[in-house]
Amino acid sequence: MCGTVSAENGKKGGRPKYYTKTVIPGISLVILTPNQYNSLLEKYGYDLLKKALIIFENWLKSSPKGEKYVGRNNYGHFRSDGWVINTAKSID
């Protein structure tokens, strides 16, 4: 029913307030939903995605700018033309 408020969704049935976080071994600060993780896995493959996740995790831990992204969904940082993926591609 459109226009209703529920405990699982935001106001008027919008974006969910709570979502399940994908548990990635060795990665604790990067937050992705299972659908987002699977989408990135299909797009980049396991090896490149793992490198990108480690790079982004280290940036979140060490950079003062990264502090504002801790605890938020980080899907937007994994664009194909973004710095995370480009850095992961350059590491061999």
Are 66 and 55 in contact by the 8 Å Cβ rule? The answer is: no
Tens digit of pLDDT at every position of the chain (92 positions): 444 444 555 555 555 555 567 777 888 889 998 999 999 999 999 999 999 999 999 999 999 998 899 888 999 999 999 999 999 999 86
* Count of positions (residues) in the chain: 92
Query: CA 26, CA 17: separation in Å to the nearest integer?
Result: 25
Decide: pTM greater than 0.85: no
Q: Which segments of the chain does DSSP mark as H helices, in order?
A: 34-44, 46-62, 83-90
